[in-house]
Amino acid sequence: MVVGLPGNMASLIATKIAKCKDMVLSPVCLTHETFGIIKRDGFALQGIRVPDHENAIRKYKPDVIVDFSKGSPEENCSMFCECGVPFVMGTTGVNMETMKEMVENSNISAVIAPNMATPIVALQAMLEYVAKNFPSAFSGYSLKIEESHQEEKVDTSGTAIAVERLLNATGAVSDDNGILSIRNPLIQERLYGVPKEYLKGHGYHKYSLVSSDGTVVINIGHNINGRNIYVDGTMRAIRFLAKKSDEHGKVFSMTDVLKV
């Protein structure tokens, strides 16, 4: 069962599931929009709105719920736990500690990650290794972060926030201006080189580490055009979680998914 249609990611995930031989897409989806039947490439789903979400979950009993909604992730987490359905959540801006506590006190498990792109997850795992084993590797360095996403994205990139914490753990001190979030399509195209066809769906990140005397500059960057990489990672997370049906009270990350 997919939550968040007719949003872009939720729509792409539902389309992918509908074409998979090892999955069956629920005939209904959970939405906050005013739609009846939601049609996309390969499927037509009945949109269920609040306050009927919980009733729909209990009626159709999905094996896994995939949530890419823009609503309240904490409320959704509580509902999934109450209904006893494992879930994959890719929504950003979540209160991880709150949701982790809810899952740990439930009879389900979940995959919760701000970024489903497996190459980026691998990069974060590398930085986590550095932070754990070389905590003063960038002591005395300043850290500047820029991230560019489609203008519809209202919050700061969860990936940028996560990488900032990892680099801070290596001794780097964040710039006083914080994370610079670019949402202007004109600036994105002209200054950041985002192809015009991907202005509505991209993720460009740049992390600059500068030594105290300015003689050393280390740039770490990753640019993603389109959403296919996130879809592939989400599908991997669904299959991972489906095999963990006998494990309860655990919150898995995409790093856990990558290890399998």
From the centroid of its chain, how far is CA 160?
12
Nearest to 20 by CA among 37, 50, 42: 42
Can 153 be counted among the known catalytic residues? yes
Residue in 16, 53, 149, 202 annotated catalytic: 149
Cα-trace Rg, the chain:
19
Residue in 32, 70, 100, 153 annotated catalytic: 153
For 164, what's the count of Cα atoms within 13 Å in the CB-facing half-sphere?
A: 19
Can 149 be counted among the known catalytic residues? yes
Q: What is the CB neighbour count within 10 angstroms for residue 54?
A: 15
Strands ordered across the beta sheet of 87-89: 37-40, 43-48, 28-30, 2-3, 65-67, 87-89, 110-112, 251-252
| Tokens matching residue 39 | 């049609």
Catalytic residues: 149, 153
